[in-house]
Structure 1
Amino acid sequence: MARKMLIDGEANKATNDERYDFDLFVIGAGSGGVRASRFSTQFGAKKVGMCELPFHPVSSEVLGGVGGTCVLRGCVPKKICVYGASFGPELEDARSFGWELNENVDFNWKKLLQKKTEEIVRLNGIYKRMLANAGVKLFEGEGKVVGPNEVEVTQLDGTKLSYSTKHILIATGSRAQRPPIPGQELGITSDEALSLEELPKSVVILGGGYIAVEFASIWRGMGATVNLCFRKELPLRGFDDEMRAVVARNLEGRGIHVHAQTTLSELVKTDNGIKVRTDHGEEIMADAVLFATGRAPNTKRLNLDAVGVEIDEVGAIKVDEYSRTTIPSIWAIGDVTNRMNLTPVALMEGSLFAKTVFGGEPSKPDYNNIPYAVFCIPPLSVVGLSEEQAVEQAKGDIHVYTSSFNPMKNTISGRQEKTVMKLVVDGATDKVLGASMCGPDAPEIIQGIAVALKCGATKAQFDSTVGIHPSAAEEFVTMRSVTRTISCGKPRTNL
């Protein structure tokens, strides 16, 4: 069947093809899918359909909701909980600033939970209205691919609908996984953690990534006893080693019990809670055990094998640099492709898919200098290369500039927690290759730094910029002295 598609880097602007029920059908209404469908209509797609599983705060193979993981059970509700958890330490610090507070300040988890639920329901409605206003036809149910140009939607009552479509876009995201250990059914994932009816007083967290350290901060800030277990010597594998050490120190400084090079071997239900056994033979009692051990692409029920769409060993859909799968009429974006699993990246991929397929302008996502943050307390944010990555790629010297200081607020409150900033610079070109910060407002500051790196800023240009005083951000333009220089090929430690 004839169809216009991207061929050898060229694309034809979309035209309405009456042979198909839809110009585009999107499976998955998360951030990337919604962006792609809306932008496709703006670029000329006349008939766009989309399907999504029915809404529920906790996802499953048959439950989801318009808005996807980020909006309903990820970034947004998590950030709300981070805000809530931050008030506890802030109230402690407030006493040093003259605020007279009662000794006992109570935290009402159920009130925050209600507010969180109200917000995600509101956002779910907003996303639905955005789709409707863009002219996207939304189906509630489970979608799967039954041919290169055919999709099937199973509605809530079991009725199956079949539609032909010129292009299919898969944007089904990913789902949290549980480790295969005895008693794993006693644990929870981040989905359930954001919807617990009761706030646990003691928690064991398995994992050393974003989700693990963020929930460690959340629960500790709300007063829980937290034990964080992970396999490596430091949390946040893949981040700059120096900044990983800073995060670990801050977690411990906030009262979190950090168990490095530790994993869990068994969970046992008892009358007093969950008995957690580690691989070192240690036993820890907990009200809740959170598994933050990774996510897997949502591809199992899409019928991809039957159609010929290739997936990799972890179940992610293989795509080319334009987000096209091994079947020319089928495309995929976001976490389901396991490229760079961040919501803003899925938005970028969705936008460029629409421009490529319906805008007549083939466009590849650029994954360089993408900023991101870990919303632990205090947060870590980075953009560009870590020191280790820069050294690995270097052809000459790498200059590292660092600054570690006690924020002004902490000098009054007495909190012993330093802010750390870092710039990684190419010695030959003076170009800033990477920036990182761990401390209050780090994500807000790094977002601005990311613009500079995207524009190719040099260290000299940073130095010539006037700082805002007094602020933490001004340190990025006042780091004059090189902390260390690493020559190409120098051995690195592997933490």
Structure 2
Amino acid sequence: MTDNYDLLVIGAGMAGVAAAKKAASTGWRVAIVDALPYGGTCALRGCDPKKILRRGAEVVDAARLMRGKGIDSGGLSINWGDLMQHKHGFTDPAPHSMEKDLQRHNVETLHGTATFTGPTQLDVAGTSYAASKFLIATGAVPRPLDFPGHEHLIDSSDFLNLEALPPRIVFVGGGFISFEFAHIAARAGSRPVILDRGATPLKSFDTDLVELLIKRGSEAGVEVRRRTSVTHITKTSSGYTIHTDTAGTPASLQADLIVHGAGRVSELARLDLEAAEVGYGEKGVEVASHLQSITNHVVYAAGDAANTAGLPLTPVAVIEAKVAASNMLKSTMTIPNYAATPTAVFTIPELVRVGMLEHEAHESGLNVDVRYTDTSGWYSNYRIGETAGVTKILVDKDTDLIIGAHLFGNGYAELTNTISVAMKHGLTTRQLKSTTAVYPSEGSDLASML
């Protein structure tokens, strides 16, 4: 027997949930399916639990910065087990509450691996389902690695569930996951090492600020080895030996734990997209700019599962999913607005970007003013004992509009939200500087950065 829906959403992360609720609110019969607990990577295995663990690292780091300035930080440490329980206090109830919320919004909730059996049909745990429209919002998984011994690595989900943190941790890859987790681990007493194949990690961020982040991380105990590839890994009686190649020179290092931080790819393997006549590649389902599959027009895709122009971020995935749902409901071809989307690496302090990189701005032909400010000695940093802080804001001289902003410092992720609003809505730097901010606050520093 086949059950029929107006929309069947594959993937119960934030994007899939947003689209399902939007479509159901109009009276469509909607179902959502996932083989994993409802909530997706961000809520259960990524952004949210990561930042809960980061809080412990923030507290330890903040106390150490104030050592000799009125705070005795001696003996202050992270109890990893207690911190992990605090994390579970958020993540464990989330799947149930999210599923109940979907049901309250008249979305039918299904569990199991979804596999297409035709252009308009799915199989879930032996039951066949048909739908007029499908949304693929399955997210991403760690990129497959092919060097001998790769099976010894754990992924980000495993790290976020570790019962104990060992002293020697190696992160393979120089991206978000490696840097964020390494900064947490260092404050928790481990000695993390990041191995990156390139000359500069975090390639989508301003290179000048990345160097400052690496320096600040080194002071906290995070080691970064560049131009270093893993050739193979062997298990030993006391852990693992990681054999590497650094610019042609072989070397090795010992580890108790090795974490995969070498990127992610779309999670499409189990869908059998060939049966659905849906075209796809390494970057996801091949969709038009309005998120409709190029080869099967009843299928849409959003987030990390689609090869869109958007950044691989949860807020972007949610926007895409809502636009996809609207396009299905109204038979329109609306394109998501990706303008001024900020992104951050939540190290300590954080590194943030919105808009163009400096070289992109110069190459664009715009009349660029690069406003570089060292904020390390400013009151906001002095107050907390921080000695690292830099901003680089790119302004079009002809229009006085911000075209890019790059910030490294405590609290600068929140500050970037204000810059993003200004960029998206066309506020000039003069208009931003004319506003009266709460003082003293990081927000009140913005006018001086401009």
- Tell me the TM-score range normalised by the shorter chain: over 0.9
Residues 452-491 of structure 1, C-alpha deviation per residue, up to 9 Å, x if partnerless? Answer: 11011223223333444333333321246xxxxxxxxxxx
Say if 2:29 is the partner of 1:30. no
Match of 1:441 among 411, 424, 430: 411
Output the amino acid matched with 1:243.
L
Residues 413-466 of structure 1, C-alpha deviation per residue, up to 9 Å, x if partnerless? Answer: 655x32111210112222210112111111111112111110112232233334
Match of 2:65 in 1: 93
Match of 1:3 in 2: none
Q: 1:82-231 to 2 correspondence within 5 Å? A: 82-101=54-73, 103-154=74-125, 160-231=126-197
Say if 2:312 is the partner of 1:341. yes
Output the amino acid matched with 1:430.
D
Match of 1:75 in 2: 47
Name stretches of at least 5 consecutive residues in structure 1 with no aligned partner: 1-18, 54-63, 155-159, 481-495
Say if 2:11 is the partner of 1:41. no
Match of 2:285 in 1: 317
SS of residue matched to 1:263: strand
Residues 72-103 of structure 1, C-alpha deviation per residue, up to 9 Å, x if partnerless? Answer: 111111111111221221222344342345x3
Match of 2:257 in 1: 288
Match of 1:270 among 236, 242, 247: 236
Match of 1:377 among 348, 358, 370: 348
Match of 1:157 in 2: none
Residues 362-382 of structure 1, C-alpha deviation per residue, up to 9 Å, x if partnerless? Answer: 421111211111101111122
Distance in 2 between residues matched to 1:243 and 1:361, nearest whole Å: 42
SS of residue matched to 2:395: strand
Residues 391-425 of structure 1, C-alpha deviation per residue, up to 9 Å, x if partnerless? Answer: 222x242110011122536536655x321112101
Output the amino acid matched with 2:439.
H
Would the aligned equivalents of 1:382 and 1:436 in 2 still touch at CA under 8 Å?
yes
Distance in 2 between residues matched to 1:142 and 1:248, nearest whole Å: 41
SS of residue matched to 1:87: helix
Match of 1:56 in 2: none
Identity, % of aligned positions: 31
Would the aligned equivalents of 2:60 and 2:77 in 1 still touch at CA under 8 Å?
no
SS of residue matched to 1:266: strand
Match of 1:248 in 2: 214
Distance in 2 between residues matched to 1:190 and 1:20, nearest whole Å: 36
Residues 271-328 of structure 1, C-alpha deviation per residue, up to 9 Å, x if partnerless? Answer: 222112210322211111112111111111111112211012x161000111100211
SS of residue matched to 2:284: coil
Match of 1:401 in 2: 371
SS of residue matched to 1:305: coil
Output the amino acid matched with 1:432.
I
Q: 1:416-495 to 2 correspondence within 5 Å? A: 417-479=387-449
SS of residue matched to 2:134: strand
Would the aligned equivalents of 1:322 and 1:353 in 2 still touch at CA under 8 Å?
yes
Match of 1:352 in 2: 323
Output the amino acid matched with 1:73.
R
TM-score w.r.t. length of structure 1: 0.85
1:473–1:96 distance in 2 versus 1, CA, 3 Å = farther
Match of 1:487 in 2: none
Give how far 1:209 is off. 1.1
Distance in 2 between residues matched to 1:145 and 1:85, nearest whole Å: 44
Name stretches of at least 5 consecutive residues in structure 2 with no aligned partner: none
Residues 180-210 of structure 1, C-alpha deviation per residue, up to 9 Å, x if partnerless? Answer: 1121111111111111222111111111111
Output the amino acid matched with 2:326.
K
Distance in 2 between residues matched to 1:423 and 1:411, nearest whole Å: 22
Say if 2:221 is the partner of 1:239. no
SS of residue matched to 2:112: strand
Distance in 1 between residues matched to 2:72 and 2:220, nearest whole Å: 22
